[in-house]
Structures are given as structure tokens and as C-alpha cells.
Structure 1
């Protein structure tokens, strides 16, 4: 059997119920867009490695064939093999709620491009949105199953939140790999100085750092919280100046932890934790202890990482200024 029939060479096509219409007919344009969305979903499915999401996409693809069948007939009384019912809509709503809970919700605009797989889900979403606009226009003149509009509307929402979940999962896996790689490298490198002796941050040194940082905070007139952790991320010394914000306590400690765990100042981490960057979403790892704004610095002695300082209470630049002053106490 040949795949081409030549019946459409005149620019017409036949609907499911036998009616002949132009290929630029709004109804044909609408179910053609359904086919387009289905194809993009296939591309997304081929890139996604999470079985739960792949199964959901496959089921949606099967349901889009049903949507196409409904749109390909003008006869509402015609007995189609299957139709979209409100149960389909409710299932999508359940999935939306489930994935929203997983990624913690979305606030503000999201720039697509978290990953290739997430990007194809976003492309599918925009095609489904176009499908919804076409379907709404079609419903003005033609009788349309009301559940179709609700289904297509929820589908675009589901694809949006699934794109965020895929991006978040992939980011978590990337961060985990990077951290484990660093931890493995760190465990293989003894914490020794130039003379071969093991380097540790003493309490006296930690208190010197705190004192110098406090001196700088007093100079600029900002009450700060200053925390110093050792090479295991444990709190070594801590100071909360009078009138310093209570919220700054956890922030300062976690800035120090972040600088130590990732071996970088937290303001540098902020640059690569933006949407579309390699560590986007890292703040949700490590039980929420990762801080992605300035004020945390690793502390090195003779080239060995021995701890970190975290400062909170002022602006990012003020926190950085105070932390840098504290580190200079050991130089």
C-alpha cells in the first residue's frame, strides 16, 4: 500500500465523517497543531530519562490522537471510538498538583532552557497554547466538546510544571555529581601545609577572624552576625553583635558552610546559580543550607582549606567587606 494517495493535491482533505474541506480550514489547522504538539512531545520523551514522566508523556500522546479524532469531525452525534471526558482533565490536575509540590512551586517568569529535555517540554507547551487559541476560535462557530478546551488548558499547565521538574531533577543530579567529585578529590588530598604537617583551624585563629571582622563591622556601623566553621563544616566560633538581625544567624552559618562545601566565595556561586547556568537550583540541595549570595569565604592556611567565614546583617557588599577583613587577620 502506497503512503501517498494524491487525493489532497487540490488543497482539500476529508474529515473523519466524510466532509471535504480546505486544508487551510480552521478545524484542519487546529488538529494539525495537535499533531505538531504530539511530535514535539515525542522529542521530549526521547530526551527524558525519568520513567514516571516518560509514561505520562506517552499517555498524553495517546490522548492527543483522541483529541485529533474529535476535531476531525463536524458531526457531534457521530459515534467515535473514544472521547475526552472530564476525568481526563481531573487526572491532569492531579499531576499538576503532584509536580508543583515536588519543585516547590514557581514564582515569577521562567526563562526556558534549563536543559535540552526541559526545553522540548517548553516548546510542546507553547504549541499546546497555540492549539488552545485555535480551539477557542473554532468553538465560536462550531460545536466543540467542552471538555476539550479544559483538557488542552490543563495540558499546557502540566507541560510547564513538568519542564521545571525535569530541569530541577537534572540540576540536582549535576550538583550531586560535582559535590561528590569534589569530596572524593578532597578526601584524597591530605589537609597539609607546605611543611607536610596537618593544617587545622584553631579556636584562637577563628576568634582572631571574628574579632577582625567585628572591628570592620563596627567601623561601618552595621551590626553583624559572624560565623566561622572548621574544615568539617562544624561551627568553630560565632559572634552576634548587639542589634544584629535574628534571621542573620542561620544565614551567616550557612554562608560559611556553603563557602567550605563548594570551596568558593558565595558571591561567585551566585553567578553560576542563575537560571540557565550550570548550578541553577543548587540552593535546594544540602537540606537548604546552600546560600547563593555574597558574604561567605573559604579560609586557607598555607594553601590548605581549613574552614570558612560567613557574615550576614548588611548589604551583600557590606557582608563581603566584613568577611574579607576577618580573613586578613590570618595573613
Structure 2
């Protein structure tokens, strides 16, 4: 069934809500919605990479495969935020850092900010980067809400693992590196802002 009508009063339930309804404006609901936005938009990015067999520096995989792997990891993050006993493992953080370092090694050094764009794919990846940064902020808000609520209602205290927070922090860096790599491989000179 695509609807239940239970949310018509502005509440919802999640995996970890113990059959309790929570406000649709809660930090948990906001984080889940924002994670869903970035994950869905990465689906758009992924479809734009399908026609291009672009390989990612430091891997034997394509950009399509990398974006798909990130989407799968975001489902783990969403499950954790919803209260499931799922977490991003340290190895996923190391993996993303290794990718960032490999891509960065193939690019000219960063000397300033760059105007988003260059190619359509670059613009899409840049937009996904901004969504991922917002998702990170929303998940941090869940952690802060949990820290504030300690001792009040333990069944609703939502602690997010340090590796999940680190993964989200690195994700925007990875997407920035990918956007730069797409421009570089497309022969696009990055445009600096005119201050």
C-alpha cells in the first residue's frame, strides 16, 4: 500500500521509533528526508554517467559503479538514522579517503574556488555535493538532539556512529573531487569566480 493516512496529522514512524509516532519536523525525519534527497539525486547523476565509460582515478571501476556504491552506503546511513543497528564501518571511510587522494593526485592543485559547471555532469555532481553537505548537517543535528535528550527518553536517543559522521563529511569532498575530475577529463578549464 502506498499510503496509510497515519501521517495526515503531521507525524510519522521510523524503524527505530518503537511504534511511537514522531513529528515530521523532527531532526530525525529531517535528516532522513535530506538523505533521501541526496540519494535520489545521485540516481540522476548515475544515469548521466551510464553513457560515459568514465573511470575513476585510483580504481578500476567506472563512475557509474562508484555512484552506485555511494548510494548503497547512504542506505546504511539512512537505516542508522532511522534507528536500525546498521553503521558505516571504518573501512568505508578509508575507502572514500583513498579515492579522494587518488583523484586529487591526477588533478592540478586547487588555488581558488571554482564556479560550478563546465559540463552537465559536473554541474549535477556539484549539486549532489551541496545536497550531501546539507544531509551531513541534518545528521549532525540528530546527534546534537540526542546529546540534549540524554536522560529524558532513552528509547528515542539517537546516537550516530563516528564513522557515519566521517563518511558523510568525506562524501562532499569526494563529490567535489569527482566534479573536478569530470571537468579535467572533459578538457574543461575550471572557471574561477570574479570577485
Q: TM-score band (shorter)?
A: 0.7 to 0.9
Deviation at 1:274, TM superposition (A): 6.4
Alpha-carbon distance in structure 2 between the residues aligned to 1:98 and 1:69: 29
Alpha-carbon distance in structure 1 between the residues aligned to 2:112 and 2:42: 25
Deviation at 1:138, TM superposition (A): 2.0
- In the superposition, the TM-score normalised over structure 2's length comes to 0.81
The aligned residue for residue 167 of structure 1 is 183
Q: Is the alpha carbon distance of 1:274 and 1:109 closer, same or farther for their aligned partners in structure 2, counting shifts above 3 Å?
A: closer
Alpha-carbon distance in structure 1 between the residues aligned to 2:184 and 2:45: 16
Query: Greater CA radius of gyration, 1 or 2?
Result: 1
Q: Is the alpha carbon distance of 1:97 and 1:274 closer, same or farther for their aligned partners in structure 2, counting shifts above 3 Å?
A: closer
The aligned residue for residue 186 of structure 1 is none
Deviation at 1:146, TM superposition (A): 1.4
Once the two structures are superposed, what CA deviation does each residue of 1:106-156 show, in whole Å capped at 9, x if it has no partner? 221011011111111111110111111222222123122111110100001
Once the two structures are superposed, what CA deviation does each residue of 1:16-51 show, in whole Å capped at 9, x if it has no partner? 123320111111101110110011111111112225
Alpha-carbon distance in structure 2 between the residues aligned to 1:167 and 1:37: 21
User: Which structure has the higher relative contact order (CA within 8 Å, separation 6+)?
Assistant: 2
Is residue 116 of structure 1 aligned with residue 116 of structure 2? no
Q: How many residues are aligned here?
A: 169
Output aligned runs, 1:52-71, within 5 Å: 52-71=62-81
- In the superposition, the TM-score normalised over structure 1's length comes to 0.49
Deviation at 1:171, TM superposition (A): 2.1
Gapped runs of 5+ residues in structure 2? 56-61, 147-158
Alpha-carbon distance in structure 1 between the residues aligned to 2:186 and 2:41: 20
Alpha-carbon distance in structure 1 between the residues aligned to 2:143 and 2:77: 14
Q: Is the 8 A contact 1:44 1:118 kept in 2?
A: no
The aligned residue for residue 174 of structure 2 is 158
Q: 2:98 aligns with which of 91, 94, 100?
A: 94
The aligned residue for residue 191 of structure 2 is 275
Once the two structures are superposed, what CA deviation does each residue of 1:63-110 show, in whole Å capped at 9, x if it has no partner? 11110010012xxxx6x3x42111111100000001111223322101
The structure in which a higher percent of residues are strand is 1
The structure in which a higher percent of residues are helix is 2
